[in-house]
Structure 1
Amino acid sequence: MILANLPNDLESEILARVPAKSLQELKTTCKRWYTLFKDSKFVEKNKKLSSEAARETFLLSNHEVYSIAGDLHSSGDVAQPLEFTGKLSKDLDLYTISHCDGLMLCQAKNNSSVVVWNPCTGETKMIKPRTRYQIRDRFALGYDDSRRGYKILRFGYYQNEEKVWFVECEMYDLSSGSWSVVDSFILDYRMYCSGVSLRGDTYFVAGDKDSSFFLMKFDFTAERFVRLPLPFQSFDPEDTAVLSVVRDEKLSVCHQDNHTWSHVMRIWVSSKVDEEGGKELSWRKDFVLTVDFDKFQLRCVVNVASFLLDEEKKVAVCCDVCDEDMKGEAKNRIYIVGEDMYKQVYDDDIVNASLLNCPLVLTYVPSLVHIH
């Protein structure tokens, strides 16, 4: 029996198990498949059933996005150098990127533009501001559970006449293409790292003068911020606290106590966040990984800017900026570390140190999600 003779529902069931990137190459095979691959129910099913082997890795370095062969979550053979398969960003001097459900949110330098991009389908959408973007603006991409509607949160900082800092929140709905004002409140804390998306919500590390670091979640369904605990306490704003997502199931946090000049990195992992179980989050009490960088006698202090954790193998892929020769020549570098292992796999001269941006590494599963 050839594929064309299969019942449509069986054909759809088979195709739903094919990785999205392969389906994208097959979309012009026939009109039926072209229509099927744009159907929202099929796209959701494909995301759940397609193989994890389809996971890809991106690197943001020197304001450009590069694709890296393989899945750095499975860091495996550390003897092999990274294989770059191409530069993906075009005509955008990128400041940062984030992802949710196969879609990328790209911010250009000084927030001069904001773009939603699906690397699998090639679709892009320029998001025009309601009034204007500002340098201090932060953005997050997520979705509403009730209808799987994708949204962009913009929260900007400003001072009133009494010199009190406020946060103004706006929401952009990708389906309607319109902005709405969500909230405005006094800013009594500071965001310390870019947000990461998990199960449609975005998480940030935040802190204030009177308490330690804490986790701030933005719930895209309720459209509100929720304050949550972290597995450690720190009262020093100079500490490093970075978030990452473990295979779209768990949250992980990396902490370095810079105040005590400690060169120890500790990583914790959360419980599995169940999309259908209320998205409750708790932290494992024990460290998944502890690395003392002093034992490797490195010439440059490690200050992790982004990371990926292989929970099973207890190793992490980390990015940071360093000056190994102490000559004022900054480099973006990537290294793989374990409790007793350090292997640098990439370094790249920073073109313009005055526009210094930390490198970012992330993995995601390609999706056929359509950008309205």
Structure 2
Amino acid sequence: MSNLPREISEEILSRVPVKSLRAVRITCKTWNTLSKDVTFITKHVGRAKEEAAKKKEIMVIMMMNFRVYLMHINLHNDAEPCIKREGKFITLDDSDHVDLYRVFHSGGLLLSISIDSTKLVAWNPYSGQSRWIKIESSPDLIEIYKYALGYEKSNNSCHNHNHKILRFVDYLLVSEYKIYDFNSDSWRVLDITPYKKNYSVPNLRNGVSIKGNTYWYGESRPRSDVFLVCFDFTRERFGLSLSLPFEYFSNVSSIVTLSSIREEQLAVMFIRYDTFTMEIWITNMIEPSAVSWNSKVFLAVDLRLATFYCFCFEGASFFIDEEKNFAVVLDNNNVAYIVGVDGTLRKEHFRLSEELCDTHACSYVPSLVQL
């Protein structure tokens, strides 16, 4: 087949699922070169999006057992499990032999941190391109550094956006903010001093990328209020605090978790432990300096009515199926809770191996972005 005309090879290989791209690339030099061509990647990404839309699936990146997986969430076929593993993401170098933890996604790029926190790896799973980035860390602060992946807005197509990495720590008397620019392949120190005086971002909470910017939920100091915090990668600074759609009480134990919808809208899950209720709200509009929310809650559920009680939502990830009016909450016990707007709940196990470890997931939209 390697002797087929390029047009025919391209058409055939563009139908290969992403989990088989590595096999395509190592088959022969011709196919390896073809699989990295922009025309091929464009066709392959287009088919992947069409298939996901046709099957009404949500594509999700999941970090589990120190590896990164592509998962499909499908709530439209009751005969099959709602979560299926499509494949393990690897790069063309040796990154698949390195233990990674935490995963960030923005505009088709993924970013992960080596388990020893000495380097970052950024890659596009569809093109196979990757870049290793060295970092210098204080041994005492490794666990509390925060990261975000985003891009500077441009008037060109999305694959020409200049991606950047924000790395910062703001803990007690230590404050440090640096940004890595993919175009210059270098780190710069940012002068951001007012930030630490007003609020903090909880440790080990990944931000959510929306239109190239990253959003976290922030906590005032002392913790009397919570709100949204945005880092604008074009202006390279934090914006003003943005309001959340629910009433917050500092004396009530609660969980706030963010998610994205196609990297265009922000969703927030709010769980109150005094009433054991869950609410999920979706934005109408969101920008670094302004946000508006749907006037009606997307989902509100009394968790006390569930027939099972082993909830572990601290640090959980969640995703929304707007068409079928369901949310899927993935906890750290390898369990998926499918929550309907009508109050129905069911759970499914999605363990990928017998080894237990923390999981983290984020929505994924493939793209042609180049490194």
TM range (shorter): 0.7 to 0.9
- Can you list the C-alpha shifts for 1:123-142, whole angstroms capped at 9, x where unaligned? 22111125667221111111
The answer as to 2:215 corresponding to 1:203 is: yes
Alignment of 1:1-372 (within 5 A): 36-37=38-39, 51-54=49-52, 56-68=59-71, 71-72=72-73, 74-81=74-81, 82-88=83-89, 90-109=96-115, 111-129=117-135, 134-146=142-154, 148-160=161-173, 166-185=174-193, 187=196, 188-192=198-202, 193-208=205-220, 209=222, 211-226=224-239, 227-236=241-250, 238-258=253-273, 260=274, 262-273=275-286, 280-303=290-313, 305-321=316-332, 331-338=333-340, 339-348=342-351, 351=355, 357=358, 359-371=359-371
User: Contact (CA 8 Å) 1:37, 1:368: kept in 2 or not?
Assistant: no
| Shift in alpha-carbon separation, 1:110–1:294, aligned structure 2, 3 A | farther
- Can you list the C-alpha shifts for 1:141-188, whole angstroms capped at 9, x where unaligned? 11111372110001113444xxxxx43211100111100111242524
Q: Distance in 2 between matches of 1:110 and 1:32?
A: 35
Task: Give me the TM-score of the superposition, normalised by structure 2.
Answer: 0.76
| Shift in alpha-carbon separation, 1:20–1:215, aligned structure 2, 3 A | farther
User: Contact (CA 8 Å) 2:270, 2:278: kept in 1 or not?
Assistant: yes
- Can you list the C-alpha shifts for 1:84-122, whole angstroms capped at 9, x where unaligned? 233335233333111011101112336343211211122
- How far residue 319 of structure 1 moved from its aligned partner, in angstroms, is 0.9
- How far residue 273 of structure 1 moved from its aligned partner, in angstroms, is 4.8
Q: Structure 2: which amino acid aligns with 1:111?
A: S
SS across alignment from 1:294 = helix
Q: Distance in 1 between matches of 2:301 and 2:151?
A: 35
- How far residue 212 of structure 1 moved from its aligned partner, in angstroms, is 1.4
| Shift in alpha-carbon separation, 1:30–1:196, aligned structure 2, 3 A | closer
Q: Distance in 2 between matches of 1:173 and 1:299?
A: 46
Q: Distance in 2 between matches of 1:123 and 1:30?
A: 12
Q: Distance in 2 between matches of 1:221 and 1:124?
A: 23
Q: Distance in 2 between matches of 1:128 and 1:31?
A: 28
SS across alignment from 2:292 = coil
- How far residue 67 of structure 1 moved from its aligned partner, in angstroms, is 2.4
Task: Give me the TM-score of the superposition, normalised by structure 1.
Answer: 0.76
- Choose 179-188 or 340-349, whichever is displaced more: 340-349
Q: Distance in 1 between matches of 2:65 and 2:123?
A: 19
| Shift in alpha-carbon separation, 1:144–1:120, aligned structure 2, 3 A | same
User: Contact (CA 8 Å) 2:114, 2:120: kept in 1 or not?
Assistant: yes
Q: Structure 2: which amino acid aligns with 1:281?
A: V
Q: Distance in 1 between matches of 2:225 and 2:232?
A: 22
| Shift in alpha-carbon separation, 1:37–1:175, aligned structure 2, 3 A | farther
- How far residue 200 of structure 1 moved from its aligned partner, in angstroms, is 0.3
Q: Distance in 1 between matches of 2:48 and 2:215?
A: 26
> Unpaired segments of 5 or more residues in structure 2?
53-57, 91-95, 155-159
SS across alignment from 1:127 = strand
State the aligned residue count. Answer: 331
- How far residue 203 of structure 1 moved from its aligned partner, in angstroms, is 0.4
Q: Structure 1: which amino acid aligns with 2:61?
A: F
SS across alignment from 1:135 = helix
> Unpaired segments of 5 or more residues in structure 1?
6-13, 161-165, 322-330
Q: Distance in 2 between matches of 1:334 and 1:366?
A: 23
Q: Distance in 2 between matches of 1:219 and 1:369?
A: 19
Q: Distance in 2 between matches of 1:218 and 1:366?
A: 23
| Shift in alpha-carbon separation, 1:350–1:139, aligned structure 2, 3 A | farther
